[in-house]
Amino acid sequence: MPLFLQRALISGILSALLCASIGVFVVTRKMSFFANAVAHSSLAGVAIGYLIGASPFGSAVAFGALVGLGIGYLYRTSQLFIDTVIGIFLPSSMAFGVVLIGFVHGYKPDLLSYLFGDILAVSTADMYAVIALSVIVFAFLIAFFHEIVMIALDEDWAKVKGIPVNLIDYTFFVILALIIVVSTKTVGIILVSALVVIPPASAMNVAKSFKWTMIYSIVFGILSAVLGILFSYLFNISTGPTIVLTAFLIFLITIVIRRKR
């Protein structure tokens, strides 16, 4: 197996694993458009990287984390609903990114690779970044799993039980933002929300408990990534859209299974 394909599979599997596991909480909390807002903001981060001569990927990660914190802060300190806050950040951050791209002189970044992903061009450094993030995310999930579940299901009850909701929530927002930005390498800015939303939605069609929703979501996410990468390599088609279409096909299959039950 070629080295670039090995890197693509490792990065794709880990990205799908991260998105699918955290996506269960995102869908449960009705925050599906959060992924879109942060992913679109990463375009501004890419532009900032080119303007200041830094790593576009690194600046995209940093800017995405700031947007995640901004969304969390405005949601916590204002009377606005979460979907309203996300609706403010999504077009604003995308517009900011497009404007900044216009100020980049000389070499312009390949916007298509950022918009739709280019996982077959993932470098060794990118792969290690995904691995490092995976360790951080699962350490956080293992340490605060009970608290995160309680906040997702009933935030008021979590406060009554003395759980530091704000602190855990801000951490959750930042980690979610980092996962989304890193995963844009896999499927791109436009399609990354699909990895966060579709596997959990598919899992909810067949699972009978929260535990099995998490398990099925991870299985469906990894399956989508592996099959999508292999299909794109074998048939020489775009990888990101192929992964998303594979996830959508799995979703349709779970609907059929649910109806038969």
How confident is the model over 148-207, as pLDDT tens digits? 888 888 888 888 888 888 888 888 888 888 888 888 777 777 778 888 999 999 999 999
Task: Give the tokens for residue 125.
Answer: 């450094």
What type of residue is 178? L
Helix axis angle for 165-187 and 32-52, nearest 10°, is: 70
Domain boundaries, the chain: 3-193
Integer Cα distance of 114 and 108 in angstroms = 12
219 exposure class (CB count in 10 Å sphere: 0-12, 13-18, 19+): middle
Topology of domain 3-193 in CATH is: ABC transporter involved in vitamin B12 uptake, BtuC (1.10.3470)
Predicted TM-score (pTM) of this structure: 0.83
Which of 85, 100, 92 has its CA nearest to residue 45? 100
Q: Residue 110: is its pLDDT beyond 70? A: no
Would you place residue 212 in the very low, low, confident or very high pLDDT band (cuts 50, 70, 90)?
very high
Which of 37, 40, 27 has its CA nearest to residue 88? 37
